[in-house]
């Protein structure tokens, strides 16, 4: 066949000066810029493009838009391979590689089409019936069969190399759709002063102006659309082509997917592949148009059967003859338009089959009062036989089907509005054409003439602008002189006469036939939603855009009801397929979420630090030296802190500055312990509860002045505690005179710990006396360090050693840590990471996140001493903490655990089982929460929670870990393994 | 959904944290006879279909706690106001 044998020599919107090369199933073809893959395939006479999902029937191109059920292909290859793409929506580009799918071994010889012979097995509800028994058949027979036979295309199996973006836009009026109605709405709204966004899912602006032969005020529709586009651009309308509005949400918020670079082989470096827009609009004009629906007759799925409007689109927009000789079959007068447009493009009109006698009497070749009986041909049709007695086969290679129109009611349906049936035009239309924030116009509300769409759009644009706040806008009408296609008279034709065998498809993508619908109705699935789920009608990737209404029509017929009484299914977002990539946007790989780095990060990187993620933070994990592994490095760091000095990054702790006359009152109301008598220049450990009496967080409270406090929280709860305190103040106790601000990011913090830490600190402070007498344990001061850097110095310890915490303004952090490392070196100072910090806290029996779990009370954590009886305040959690269940002596409380064999580890999560008992819920007395090798004690130790644990020190238990098939005997001990007198911190 | 923060203006949902019913009242004392009141305060919430005053925090913005009068079914927002202390802070 010669190249593009079906291409017209003139007309259309393809650029003949820009030829493009592409392949389909490895064969080379040519097309033009402006083509879709579908139009280019048709131009080359390619009719067979895929196999159907269930029966592997040969399928061709059925539509010219986003409602295509059949022509699904794989685009590109390698990491960019994209399965299940509608050939009718894929813009052609040079070098495009397209492949058919769902066939084996190849498209024209598909061995799995034997499924068609098995069709009794595959009828409605077959999943529910066939695969129920025998059970063993499931894994051996059914599942492999289904996996082999079903499925559409295959995923790339490699990381998507392209970028995706999310973006936000705001406007007074959003116009969805750029047909005649949408263009006029945008023009009118913009002229009234409104900020307008116009979204069009196709690459060109114009909608039906591009696909139909329309004339407006003497101008051809395609030219008129170009003029309108220029006018809109000049008036500042934001035109967004290739952008499908896919969802409508609360507050007139819209989701729209822009296919930025789908029409290019690869996105250029500065562009994403796709963009997901969130558009906030004061008003929306829904101008989404209408889609033609098919008719249900035998073999209506064969390649060569096509919607009549699609055939018109191919000749008018793409200058492609979809066939050489056409039969037109339908229930409305648009068959005449089809005959005109095709004949004008040189397609022979073999016949118009007109069972309802709607075609004007002056049209020739009309077969009135008959349906379609037999479609001849398999992979490509060769003729059609009308149903009348003695009718002869009419030779043709194209059957154009005109079953009436479905206004695109998807968006209003998403908002919970149920479309209603309009018997006059045989269409579901919106129940109201306008409401708060929206107006439906043109074909989307059932208006089909070009003139009425233009006028409707114009008035809606003015009304939308007025509603959006441009109150001076006056109602005006504008009239147009236009000609174009009309539906004209339309008659119901849900189950045409045929008297022939052959499958009549309702949902082509999911291979649902009229028999499946009738079977479902007979079996009692008479609700539309049940019908859908039982037959899978409308549940394919096209969401039944062509299938739903014919399905309803058949069901109504079977039930003897009107179609409006049967109801309609609910359309849910998204209106068009949205890739997972664009939903993820930048949130993948290294940009999955923000990374927080402390002021010391750069310095630590230079030192070869290993980092560990803690929430969003990158924290120091450990600092390996040459030849050291993880265990050696962390043990060395611990030993150095215990014997000399080390420093750790504690910048990630939450810090809140609380000031005001009632600051101490607020603090007393949120912590269990009392701070009334905390002297200025002193810090104290504090515990917060939740209102239900469970421990929330712990940290330090420092008083720098009578009315000025500085508190710290754990890293993980920093944000939560801030929110909690603001709730307490703003909602519970607004009468308190207090102000607070998060200072977490303002201050970089270092813990400097070890017997030599005083000597190290003395190297930094500007003439401040850090002797034990002048600055004892739990002191705090605002000083300067390193020659004038403002600092907060605390003498507090988490490691159990003499220790300090030093906070400096974030911007000084890097300079200070370098000075510290340099001046501390002569005292043996080393950096230590989160691992060493964790080891030392277990040695010291301090609780952390693995113990403050959200079900532990102060008593459980061994912090009962922080809950004084005599405190007068009705503090958060006090009342509920006194509940019987929370003070039960049988509760699991914090204990230390020593491995009986010091060289056997105690896995975290192990359950604590009474010695001699078998594993059982009754014998389970607690579990291990944190575990470590202790370099200090030269033994494996752990923390855990144990029923009545404080009375059981010295008892031998079995730590059972059935998951790891590992048991170890442990001795219950005091949780403070190291320096239980706490003398070292006071030295 | 967008909420119009009295301090920051109309901002998207993601910037806000939801807490719930704004009409619950914290008992004034922790006396043992208040056990039922505490139970109600901590655990019991109405779950109306329709209008309800709720606490929201503009956590991704100014940090203010807000009382939002909202329809839980339509998500229509009738009013947004600052709590008393937040009003004072905003001044
Ligand atoms: Zn705000």
pLDDT in tens, A956-966: 999 999 988 99
Looking at the complex, does the CB of residue A251 fall below 8 Å from at least one CB of chain B? yes
Give every strand in the sheet of A482-483, ordered side by side: A219-220, A215-216, A482-483
Cβ–Cβ of B85/A691 closer than 8 Å?
no
Question: What is the model's pLDDT at position A124?
Answer: 65
Overall average pLDDT of the A611-630 stretch: 96
Interchain contact, A730 vs B26, CB within 8 Å:
no
CB of A227 less than 8 A from some CB of B = no
Q: How far is residue A69's CA from residue A866's CA, in Å, rounded to a whole number?
A: 69
Other C-beta atoms closer than 10 Å to the C-beta of A797 total: 23
Given A251, A719, A730, which is nearest B64 (Cβ)? A730
Instruction: Dump pLDDT digits (tens) for A807-827.
Output: 999 999 999 999 999 999 999
Predicted local confidence at residue A127, as pLDDT: 56
Q: Going by C-beta distance under 8 Å and a sequence separation of 6 or more, which residues neighbour residue A851?
A: A861, A894, A929, A930, A943, A945
Instruction: Reply yes or no on whether the pLDDT at A134 is more than 80.
Output: no
CA A672 to ligand 1 center in whole angstroms: 31
Whether residues A727 and B84 touch (CB distance < 8 A) is answered with no
Is A166 an 8 Å CB contact of chain B? no
Instruction: List all residues 6 or more positions away from A290 whose beta carbon is below 8 Å from its beta carbon.
Output: A405, A406, A407, A408, A427, A443, A444, A446, A448
What is the nearest CA distance from A846 to chain B, expressed in angstroms? 29
Interchain pair A879, B30: CB under 8 A: yes
Residues with CB under 5 A from ligand 1 (ion): B 5, 7-8, 58, 61-62
- In sign, the C-alpha dihedral spanning A589, A591, A596, A602 is positive
Q: Quick check: A422 pLDDT over 50?
A: yes
User: Nearest residue on chain B to A879, judged by CA atoms?
Assistant: B30
A608/A392 Cα distance (integer angstroms): 86
Residues of B contacting chain A (CB within 8 angstroms): 1-2, 12, 17, 19, 22, 26-30, 32, 34-35, 38, 41-43, 55, 57, 59, 63-65, 75, 83-86, 88-89
The beta-carbon neighbor of A723 closest among B32, B59, B75 is B59
Helix ranges (H only) for A434-570 are 450-467, 514-522, 528-535, 548-559, 563-566
Give the whole-number percent of chain A exceeding pLDDT 70: 95
Average pLDDT score, chain A = 93
Quickly state the pLDDT bin for A163 (edges 50, 70, 90).
very high
The helix (run of H) or strand (run of E) holding residue A426 is none
Confidence of residue A476 (pLDDT cuts 50, 70, 90): confident
Summarised one tens digit per residue, pLDDT across range A500-542 is: 788 999 999 999 999 999 999 999 988 888 888 899 898 888 8
Element counts in chain A: helices (H) and strands (E): 24, 51
Among A142-151, A478-487, A698-707, which range has the highest average pLDDT? A698-707
How does A109-147 read in b/e, with b if 16+ C-beta sit within 10 Å? ebebbebbeeeeebbbbbeeeeeeeeeeeeeeeeeeeee
Q: How far is the CA of A599 from the centre of ligand 1 (A)?
A: 28
Beta carbons within 8 Å of A195's beta carbon, 6+ residues apart: A170, A171, A172, A173, A236, A238
Nearest CA to A400 out of A300, A479, A478 is that of: A300
Q: Does B84 sit within 8 Å of A729, measured CB to CB? A: no
Cβ distance A633 to A933 under 8 Å? Answer: no
Separation of CA A266 from chain center: 24
User: Sorting pLDDT into bands at 50, 70 and 90, what band is A623?
Assistant: very high
Is the pLDDT assigned to residue A236 strictly greater than 90? yes
| Residues lower than pLDDT 50 in chain B | none
At A880, list the tokens. Answer: 């509920």
Question: Can you give the pLDDT at residue A1?
Answer: 47
Q: How far is A592 from chain B (nearest CA, A)?
A: 17
Residues from chain B contacting residue A280 (CB–CB below 8 Å) = 2
Q: Which residues pair with A685 in a beta bridge?
A: A700
């Amino acid at each position: 066949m010669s190249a593009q044998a079906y291409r017209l020599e003139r007309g259309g919107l393809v650029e003949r000066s820009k030829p493009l090369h592409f392949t389909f199933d490895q064969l080379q073809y040519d097309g033009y810029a402006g083509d879709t893959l579908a139009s280019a395939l048709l131009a080359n006479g390619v009719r067979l493009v895929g196999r159907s999902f269930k029966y592997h029937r040969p399928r061709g191109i059925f539509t010219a838009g986003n409602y295509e059920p059949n022509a699904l292909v794989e685009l590109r290859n390698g990491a960019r391979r994209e399965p299940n793409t509608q050939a009718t929506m894929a813009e052609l580009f040079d070098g495009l590689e397209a492949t058919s799918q769902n066939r084996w071994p190849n498209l024209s010889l598909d061995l799995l089409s034997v499924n068609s012979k098995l069709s009794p097995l595959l009828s409605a509800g077959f999943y529910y019936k066939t695969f129920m028994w025998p059970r063993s058949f499931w894994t051996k027979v059914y599942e492999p069969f289904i996996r082999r036979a079903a499925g559409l295309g295959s995923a790339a199996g490699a990381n998507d190399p392209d970028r995706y973006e999310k973006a936000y836009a705001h406007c007074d009026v959003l116009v969805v759709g750029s047909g005649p109605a949408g263009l006029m709405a945008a023009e009118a709204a913009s002229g009234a002063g409104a900020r307008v966004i116009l979204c069009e899912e196709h690459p060109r602006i114009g909608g039906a102006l591009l696909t139909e032969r329309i004339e407006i005020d003497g101008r051809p529709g395609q030219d008129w659309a170009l003029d309108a586009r220029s006018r809109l651009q000049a008036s500042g309308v934001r035109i967004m082509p290739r952008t499908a509005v896919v969802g409508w949400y609360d507050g007139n918020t819209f989701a729209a997917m822009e296919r930025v670079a789908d029409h290019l082989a690869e996105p250029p470096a500065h562009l994403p592949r796709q963009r997901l827009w969130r558009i906030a609009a004061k008003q929306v004009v829904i101008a989404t148009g209408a889609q033609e629906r098919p008719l249900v007759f035998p073999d209506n799925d064969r390649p060569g059967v096509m919607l009549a409007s699609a055939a018109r689109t191919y000749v008018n927009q793409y200058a492609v003859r979809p066939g050489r000789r056409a039969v037109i079959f339908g229930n409305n007068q648009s068959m005449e338009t089809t005959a005109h447009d095709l004949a004008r493009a040189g397609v022979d009109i073999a016949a118009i089959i007109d069972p309802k006698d709607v075609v004007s009497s002056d049209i020739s070749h009309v077969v009135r009062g008959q349906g379609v009986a037999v479609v001849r041909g398999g992979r490509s049709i060769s003729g059609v036989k009308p149903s009348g007695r003695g009718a002869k086969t009419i030779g043709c290679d194209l059957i154009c089907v005109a079953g009436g129109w479905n206004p695109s009611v998807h968006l209003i349906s998403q908002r919970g509005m149920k479309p209603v049936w309009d018997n006059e035009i045989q269409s579901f239309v919106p129940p109201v054409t306008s409401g708060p924030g929206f107006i439906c116009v043109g074909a989307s509300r059932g208006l089909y003439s070009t003139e009425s769409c233009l006028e409707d759009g114009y008035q809606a644009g003015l009304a939308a602008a007025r509603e959006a706040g441009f109150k001076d806008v006056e109602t005006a009408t504008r009239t147009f002189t236009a000609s174009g296609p009309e539906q004209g008279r339309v008659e119901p034709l849900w189950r045409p006469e045929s008297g022939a065998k052959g499958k009549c498809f309702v949902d082509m993508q999911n291979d649902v036939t009229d028999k499946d619908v009738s079977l479902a109705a007979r079996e009692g699935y008479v609700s539309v939603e049940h019908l859908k789920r039982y037959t899978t009608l409308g549940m394919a990737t096209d969401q039944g855009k062509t299938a739903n209404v014919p399905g309803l029509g058949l069901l109504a017929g079977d039930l003897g009801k009107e179609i409006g009484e049967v109801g309609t299914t609910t359309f849910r977002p998204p209106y068009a397929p949205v890739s997972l990539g664009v939903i993820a946007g930048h949130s993948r790989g290294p940009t999955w979420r923000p990374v927080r780095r402390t002021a010391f990060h750069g310095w630590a990187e230079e030192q070869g630090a290993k980092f560990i993620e803690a929430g969003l933070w990158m924290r120091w994990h450990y600092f390996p030296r040459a030849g050291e592994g993880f265990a050696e490095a962390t043990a060395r760091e611990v030993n150095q802190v215990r014997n000399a000095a080390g420093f750790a990054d504690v910048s990630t702790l939450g810090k809140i500055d609380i000031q005001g006359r009632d600051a101490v009152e607020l603090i007393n109301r949120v912590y269990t312990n009392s701070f009334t008598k905390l002297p200025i220049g002193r810090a104290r450990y504090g515990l917060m509860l939740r209102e239900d009496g469970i421990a929330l967080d712990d940290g330090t409270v420092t008083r720098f002045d009578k009315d000025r406090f500085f508190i710290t929280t754990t890293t993980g709860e920093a944000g939560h505690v801030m929110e909690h305190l603001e709730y307490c103040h703003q909602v519970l106790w607004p009468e308190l005179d207090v102000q607070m601000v998060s200072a977490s990011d303002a201050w970089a913090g270092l813990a400097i710990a070890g017997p030599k830490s005083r000597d190290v600190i003395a190297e930094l402070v500007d003439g401040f006396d850090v002797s034990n007498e002048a600055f004892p344990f739990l002191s705090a001061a605002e000083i300067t360090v390193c020659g004038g850097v403002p600092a907060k110095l605390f003498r507090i310890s988490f490691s159990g050693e003499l220790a300090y915490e030093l906070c400096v303004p974030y911007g000084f952090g890097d300079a200070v840590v370098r000075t510290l490392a340099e001046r501390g070196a002569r005292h043996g100072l080393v950096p230590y990471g989160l691992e060493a910090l964790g080891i030392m806290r277990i040695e010291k029996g301090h609780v952390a996140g693995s113990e403050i779990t959200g079900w532990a009370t102060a008593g459980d954590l061994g912090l009962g001493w922080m809950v004084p009886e005599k405190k007068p305040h009705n503090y958060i959690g006090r009342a509920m903490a006194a509940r019987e269940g929370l003070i039960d002596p049988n509760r699991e409380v914090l204990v230390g655990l020593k491995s009986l064999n010091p060289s056997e580890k105690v896995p975290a999560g192990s359950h604590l089982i009474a010695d001699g008992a078998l594993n059982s819920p009754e014998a389970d007395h607690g579990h291990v929460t944190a575990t470590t090798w202790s370099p200090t004690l030269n033994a494996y130790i752990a923390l855990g929670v144990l029923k009545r644990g404080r009375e059981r020190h010295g008892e031998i238990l079995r730590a059972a870990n059935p998951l790891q098939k590992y048991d170890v005997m442990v001795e219950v001990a005091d949780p403070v393994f190291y320096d239980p007198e706490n003398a070292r911190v006071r030295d | 959904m967008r909420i119009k923060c009295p301090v920051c203006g109309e901002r998207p949902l993601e910037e806000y944290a939801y807490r719930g019913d704004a009409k619950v009242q914290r008992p004034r004392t922790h006396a043992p006879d208040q056990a039922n009141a505490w139970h109600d305060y901590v655990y019991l919430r109405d779950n109306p279909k329709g209008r309800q005053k709720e606490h929201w925090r503009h956590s991704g913005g100014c940090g203010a706690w807000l009382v939002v009068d909202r329809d839980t079914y339509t998500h229509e927002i009738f009013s947004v106001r600052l709590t008393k202390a937040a009003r004072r802070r905003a001044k």
